[in-house]
Every structure is written in C-alpha cells, then in structure tokens.
Chain A
C-alpha cells in the first residue's frame, strides 16, 4: 500500500468522525505534505493509527469496565472506561500481539496487522471468582530462588566500577581483589569456578580459575544486574555452586525513533574517566527491526592510599557492542556482538622474587616501591580481550509455549607480562608476554518454555559446549579441548490464586575433556569424562502481598578445572609451589536456602539463610613441606579434596521513619569449615555490617528523586583462618564512611541524572583480608565520583507514550 493511499484512507476516517477539528486537519495536511516532499523522516504519519474497541462480557455483552488491554511490542497497558471502551491512539503500522484481561477472566490474546485505524472488540469469558489483575505479573515473585536485583540507583552508583565492585552492593556478595583494578565477585564465600556468570544469557567463559582473573565484562552494558544466591546447576549447568550472576542488557527499543544515553563518570582517585554511550533505534517503517550500538572508554592512572601512591595501578579499557534484532509477534531473531579490551597495571610492589622479599615487603611500613601519579601502564601488567558473538531466535509454538535457540561464540585472550623483561637481549626485544592463553568457546542451547497447563508451567532444554585452550610462554595450564552437553527439565506448580508455589527440576550433564601436554618432548594427552545428575526442589508461600517465604534444596556440581588437575610449579603471585592432581573428582554441592521477605510501606526486611554442603571441595592444602629452588625454599601446596560446609545469613532491614527519612541496615555473616581437616577454610570473607541513613527531598519542579545518604561499613577482623597456611596474619577489622547524593534534573522532557559519591570519606587507612595485595599495601583512600547520565533523542517519532503523557 502506498503512503498516499493510506493517508487518504485516514483522512476518510477522520472526516466521518464527529470529533473532527482544526488541529487534526492541520496534522493530516502536515502529514500529506511530508509525504509529498518524501522526507526521510516519515515516522509521524505511519504512527497515527488508532486501535480501539469495547471489552464486553462474552455471555450478556455487558461492558466490562477497568479491563486491561496490553500491547506486548510497545509494552503499554490501557484501561477500559465505564462503557468498556478503550482506545490506543498514535500506533504505528505493524504487527502486534494484543492481550485483554478482565478481573476473573482468562486473558485473551490476538495478533493484529495494523495498516489502518482498527476496531478490535474483546469478549472475555467472565467467571465469578475474583483474583488480582495480573497483566504483567512480577515474573520473579513465585520463584523459589528469587534473584536479587540491583536497584536503578545502585546500578547508577556502580557505573565506572568493575563488575565485581559493583555487585558487592548486593548483600551476601563480596569481592576477592588484587588491588584496585582486579575484582572477582564472591557469593557466600565462593568465587571463580564456583560462580556462574551469564552475560546476556551466555555462560561467561574466560580463565576464571585464576584468583587474579577478573570477569571480562563491561558493566556499562548491563541494564539489569541480578544475583541468584545458592546452588543452581539445574537451570544453568555446571559451576553454579555458590550462585549465578545475571548480566543483562536492556531490551532493544520497541518504540519508533532513535534515542540513547550518555554516561560520564569521573573518579578522583586515579583521576579516572569513563565515557559510555548507547544508541537505540527502531524504524517506524519497520517496527520489527530494532538495533543498538554501545561503546565505553575508560582510563585511570595510579591510585593513592592515604599515605602514598601505588605504583603502576593504572587501567585502560575500551569496549563496544552492537545488536540487531527482528521481532515479530510470533517469532524473533537477534544478533549481538561485543568486545571487551582491557590493559591493567599490576601494583609493582606486589611483585616479589622469593619469600625473603615477601617477608621484607610485609614488614615494611610503606611499599618498597613508590611513584608519583601517571597514566602510564608498565610491567607487570595484564592485557585481556574478550569477544562475544551471539545469535538468538525464538518462536511461539501456538498458545502452548515459546521455543528459544541460542548460539554463542566467545574468544578470550589473556596475556600477562612479567615485571622484568628477559636478560637475553634478543628475547627482551620481542617484548612478549610471559604467558598467554587463547580460549575459544562455542555454546548452544535450545529451550522450550510452556505456558500454564493444569497449574503447571515450565521449561525443558538441551545445551552443549565446545571449548579449546592454547597457551604460549611459561607453562601454567596445558592445552585442552572440552566437549559437554546437558539436558534439563523444570516445572512449577501453582494453581490460580494459590499462595503456594512449588518448583522442581532435574538435569543431567556430561563433559569430555582431553589434555595436550608436552612431557620430555613427547605429547601426553589423557582423556577425562565427567558426568553428573542434579535435582532441585523448592517452595514459595505468599501469606499476603507483603509477606512471603521461600525455601529451596538444590544441587550443583563442577568438574575440576585444568589448573587444579595439571598445574605444577611455582605460582609467582602466590609464593608457593602448586601441584595439581589429575585424579581429582567432581565437586558436588547440596545447598539449602531459606528466605523471609516482608515489604510494607514503612518496614521491609529480607532475611536469607543458607547451608551449603560441598563434597570433594577442591582447595590448596599446605603439605608443610618446602621445595628448594635457586630462589630459596618455597612452601608446597597440593590440590586436595575435602568435605566443606559453608553456612551463613544475609539480613537487610529497612525502615521509613517518615516520607523523607530512611534507615537501612545490612549484615552478612558466613562460617566455613573443612570437615576433613577439622579446620577453617582459608580466604573467606569476614563478617560485614552496613548501616545507612538517607534523606529524600520532596519533589519540586526543578528536582526529582533527590537524596543524600551516609553509610557506615564495618568489616570485622577474620579470626577464623586455618593455622600455618598464610604468609601473614589477617589484617585488623575496619570501619569506613561512605556518602552519596543524587538527583534527577528535568531538562527538555528528559531527566538528567547526577550523582556524587564519596567512598572512604575520612581517608581511613586499612587493609582487607580478601585483597591479595594486603601483604604489601593499604587499600586506596578517599575516592570521590561524579556521575552524569544524559538520555537523548536523535530521531523523534510520535509514539503512544508521548500522546499519553
């Protein structure tokens, strides 16, 4: 259909409408003019159709007022008036999936192809029972392991920080760090291969086994960051022993036009700057086509502790991503590509030659090497590149469910440069990394989610992985190839209106792995097979809208990683000889979680309790022997297995004293025990408490969401450590003060978000047990951050939202 015809058609509709007046006439004339000059921006005319109609009882044809009509593509919901009439003006040409829901009725679904203003009546079957309107129900509410999501403000305040640092705002999540640039998230005391990170729905596959290897993800991509605490291998596969981290971008733009967001972040400590921009588009001519381009640039120099600069602690990062999707009511496909590139300086004084040097460094008041401020990054340093390509498609299988296909390819290159270049001049001139790993991973998944049938809804799926690793330089882990596959089935039972929901699932995985190692100039290539069955069962009960309880019993597993199996030699960063064990068995967890959630106008609390029994827990056991080398004697650690218990609680309590004043307290407590050795587990986070007070300003014409808050963070000394296994005793506990303020400023229909935060406001001098550089230096001092978020609109298309506003 040509544009001219559609315009005339529209004209006719308006002409015969009694509500015809001057404004519309000029509007229509304007549209026609636009077509005649055939301007490229024709969005406005394409988006002036109206979808309207009546919602009437199927039996007596009486109007059903307050019915909800929802359009999925536009994510909008309107309410029918007292005559059962609804109207959605300003709609664009295209295919839409429309839902109609009336209290006590089953939802009606209809697909329409909108090429003109259309009347669509709905005739719901009216039942007598009354239930809550659930057009867009909270999809997490019934889950027995509810993800804890970072709030919009927490997300804003984590901009410019690393992923690990940002996630530590969630109670129960802490970080294992190596200085200021390397931070690994820790859930309930576990990290690395015991945590699964799903980046945009894809298992993140880097060199997670390393304690100095941080996740290779640009936090600016995330529009939603959530953590599922507790074992969860049934849905997500191996490694999800302590929990799962979900990093999801925002959905692609559903409304026509081109818009975006610019984020600017400056941090005082390290004089770090971040620029990140996202541009989102949706063509009004082709509402099914949606795209996004995103990029981030980050640069920081040497940070300073209260008394000195830390030499070589700069960072340089550039990341970008793009996505294109084609979404129709019944099917959709999207393609995503992202690249993460970082260059990280490793604190010079953390590098030591032997145990004598380590002892000297630990006994020194100040780091043995100091420097002034510079952005230059020298040796030792890490360079990491991570690429993700993903293609995903979905298909609605009638009314019954939805089929999703995902394929992803990841490439991870990690290069570590030692502090010193080789003595040999010709080798030195090559400036090669001391070690480098290339890891390529292909993953695929097919999942079918079915809609509610006889109170059951669920999903069933298969997934597969292929992975290859190669290394150059110093041996640390061998080359290997890994093939794996899994099948799972999860069902949830919840009758309509029931307060109780039950969930159960099962999964089976198989992993084949082949190692390629050179031993005495001969290739040695053992094969390994790992397989495991998993199950989970959980229940949630909502006493009322405010108060709910959840409980879950789940299992998880992970095969030993190649470092645990085959490492053999001096670990320079850990001052020990580490010996792998190729006979290690799979690690298996049985995890009990329970949580109480209460959310009223004034008081809210969330109490999580967990008990994680990990059998065959793999850890580095000190053999109490030393091995003599030309650099002196080093302690020998052997990878061993034990039965470990990790139990604890995370408590959050919030109280609104008035509409302006809010108090929040958080506590996170963990006890971890090695049953086989009858001793504590090493490197477990100490008890942590957070108390904050917030004042929210009343909304006025110039400012909204303005607040100011102060938080006191107290971390106790970790006294529960195994004896004779560490080079130095744990540092003392500490208390630091953080402050934050923020506001939204309306500028031309957009809200510019401005935030100012200060970490360690009083410049306290402290060391943290979970920081691997605690032997050498204090943690960085005061860090003040200014963050500005500016939404913008490049091409404006008239959309429903604006008409409604």
Chain B
C-alpha cells in the first residue's frame, strides 16, 4: 500500500508542478491603452525651400498621413511650386504626429546618418538636385540644393533609404523608409 501512496504522491506532485509551471493568464484589457513600443511611425515630411539669393518667398511642401500607414488616406499632400531660374536650399523635416507632442524624427535620422540617405529623382520638371550635407563619408540629403530651370511641370520622388552597414553613397542598397512622389511645378 505504501508504494501506492507514493505513486499517488508522485502523480499529485506532477499535477501541481505542471500547473504551477504554467504562465499566468493575462488580463485582457490593459490600462492605459497599449503603447506602440515599435512606435516608429513617420506621419509627416515637410520640405522647406529657401531662395539662396533671398529674393523669392520661402516655399514649403508637406506630405502628412496622421494615422500612419493604412487607415485613412493622407490629409495633406502639397505640390512643390518653385520659381524658374532660382536656386533653393531645401531642408527636410520628419515628424511623428501620432504622439503628443509630435516627435522629431529628423534628429534621429541625423543621429544615424551613417545608415541613411535621401534620394531625389525629378522627372518632367526642369529641376536639378544635389545633396549638400555629409555624414563624414557620404552625403545624407537632409539638406540639399534645388536648381529650378525653365518653367514646366513634372514630379519629384523623395525617398529615404535605410542602409545599415551598407551605405555606399548610392540609392541602391537598403530598404525604403519613405517614398513620396510630389507633383512639381516650376513657374
């Protein structure tokens, strides 16, 4: 009989051990709402163009998708309108407006400048673009110079490539973090 008692004890022990080793059931409604720990939403990109000669008024063009990818469509998608035969200094700002206050992503891209590059490809409009800043080795593109030539309409694709460890100054490697195709008018 004694061995039977032992056996039952072993079974009981196994039962208790099994149950207690399980993870606890979780509360289904965490309060406050779950934070987006990944949270790297870029909602807004603004291009600010300042006339190098200080004659033409400053131009801004914004793309804004306040709820990030998916959900609602973008609520602001400006056209870039530049004066012909003018040289502009362009600076890009990126923000995450899902947070309050809005988070400045530009600073974070700058902090990881060795892994990032902005790429510009105008099409149709007479605009030539060169990056004017550097991470020490390669250009970044947060700052750039846009030279608007003759009047005409087209588009300009502004993209941000993430190139961790593979940055070579070109736009080939890496993944695309941003790709916005602005309608561009040279007046």
A residues near B, CB below 8 A? 283, 285-286, 288-289, 322, 324, 326, 333, 335-337, 351-354, 356-357, 368-369, 387, 389, 391, 409, 411, 413, 418-420, 422-425, 427, 430, 432, 434-435, 438, 440, 468-475, 479-481, 516, 518, 521, 523, 525, 568-570, 577, 627-632, 634
- Distance in Å from the Cβ of B153 to the closest Cβ of chain A? 20
Given A419-B175, A632-B179, answer yes or no on A471-B14 (Cβ-Cβ < 8 Å). no
- Interface set, chain B 15-43, CB cutoff 8 A to A: 15, 17-19, 21-23, 25-30, 33-34, 36-40, 42-43
Residues of B within 8 A of A435 (CB): 38
Q: Is the CB of B73 within 8 A of A628?
A: yes
Q: Is the CB of B37 within 8 A of A326?
A: no
Which of B8, B105, B177 has the most chain A CB atoms inside 10 A of its CB?
Answer: B177
CA distance A322 to B13 in the complex (A): 13
Q: Is the CB of B69 within 8 A of A629?
A: yes
CA distance A440 to B24 in the complex (A): 9
CA distance A469 to B7 in the complex (A): 37
Residues of A within 8 A of B164 (CB): 420
Which of A352, A354, A413, A419 has the most chain B CB atoms inside 10 A of its CB?
Answer: A354
Residues of B within 8 A of A434 (CB): 37-38
Residues of B within 8 A of A471 (CB): 34
B173 is contacted by which of A368, A387, A420, A577 (Cβ under 8 Å)?
A368
Residues of B within 8 A of A521 (CB): 33
Given A387-B22, A568-B70, answer yes or no on A357-B65 (Cβ-Cβ < 8 Å). no
Which of A353, A369, A475, A630 has the most chain B CB atoms inside 10 A of its CB?
Answer: A630
Is B130 part of the contact surface with A, judged by Cβ < 8 Å?
no
Residues of A within 8 A of B63 (CB): 630
- Distance in Å from the Cβ of A429 to the closest Cβ of chain B? 12
Q: Would you mind naming 13 contact pairs between A and B with Cβ atoms under 8 Å apart? A: A286-B6, A336-B18, A337-B14, A354-B179, A423-B112, A424-B108, A468-B28, A474-B38, A577-B70, A628-B73, A628-B77, A629-B74, A631-B178
Query: 8 closest A-B pairs (Cβ-Cβ)?
Result: A353-B176, A569-B70, A353-B175, A423-B108, A518-B33, A632-B179, A570-B69, A629-B69
Which range contains the number of B residues in contact with the other chain? 35 or more
Q: Is the CB of B26 within 8 A of A628?
A: no
Given A627-B70, A629-B65, answer yes or no on A472-B37 (Cβ-Cβ < 8 Å). yes
> A-side binding surface: helix, strand, loop or mixed?
strand
Q: Is the CB of B38 within 8 A of A288?
A: no
**What residue in chain B is nearest A636 (Cβ atoms)?**
B70
CA distance A285 to B69 in the complex (A): 67
Residues of A within 8 A of B166 (CB): 369
Q: Is the CB of A411 within 8 A of B22?
A: yes
Given A435-B38, A629-B65, answer yes or no on A335-B14 (Cβ-Cβ < 8 Å). yes
**What residue in chain B is nearest A358 (Cβ atoms)?**
B176
Q: Is the CB of A423 within 8 A of B40?
A: yes
Residues of B within 8 A of A479 (CB): 28-30
Given A434-B38, A468-B25, A521-B33, answer yes or no on A630-B180 (Cβ-Cβ < 8 Å). yes
Residues of B within 8 A of A440 (CB): 23, 25-26
- Distance in Å from the Cβ of A747 to the closest Cβ of chain B? 33
A438 is contacted by which of B10, B26, B70 (Cβ under 8 Å)?
B26
Q: Is the CB of A286 within 8 A of B7?
A: yes
- Distance in Å from the Cβ of A412 to the closest Cβ of chain B? 10
- Distance in Å from the Cβ of A394 to the closest Cβ of chain B? 14
Residues of B within 8 A of A468 (CB): 25-26, 28
**What residue in chain A is nearest B19 (Cβ atoms)?**
A389
**What residue in chain A is nearest B38 (Cβ atoms)?**
A434
Q: Is the CB of A628 within 8 A of B65?
A: yes
Q: Is the CB of A430 within 8 A of B37?
A: yes
Which of B40, B68, B166 has the most chain A CB atoms inside 10 A of its CB?
Answer: B40
- Distance in Å from the Cβ of A696 to the closest Cβ of chain B? 44
Q: Is the CB of A326 within 8 A of B8?
A: yes
Residues of A within 8 A of B65 (CB): 628-630
**What residue in chain B is nearest A368 (Cβ atoms)?**
B173
Q: Is the CB of B38 within 8 A of A418?
A: yes
Q: Is the CB of B37 within 8 A of A432?
A: yes
**What residue in chain A is nearest B7 (Cβ atoms)?**
A289
Given A335-B14, A387-B23, A409-B22, answer yes or no on A353-B71 (Cβ-Cβ < 8 Å). no
CA distance A420 to B177 in the complex (A): 11
Residues of B within 8 A of A368 (CB): 173
Residues of B within 8 A of A631 (CB): 69, 176-179
Q: Is the CB of B22 within 8 A of A389?
A: yes
A516 is contacted by which of B8, B28, B108, B109 (Cβ under 8 Å)?
B28
Is B162 part of the contact surface with A, judged by Cβ < 8 Å?
yes
- Distance in Å from the Cβ of B42 to the closest Cβ of chain A? 6
Residues of B within 8 A of A518 (CB): 33-34
A324 is contacted by which of B6, B11, B173 (Cβ under 8 Å)?
B11
CA distance A569 to B39 in the complex (A): 14
Q: Is the CB of A470 within 8 A of B30?
A: yes
Q: Is the CB of B38 within 8 A of A422?
A: yes
CA distance A756 to B111 in the complex (A): 53
Which of B6, B14, B77 has the most chain A CB atoms inside 10 A of its CB?
Answer: B14
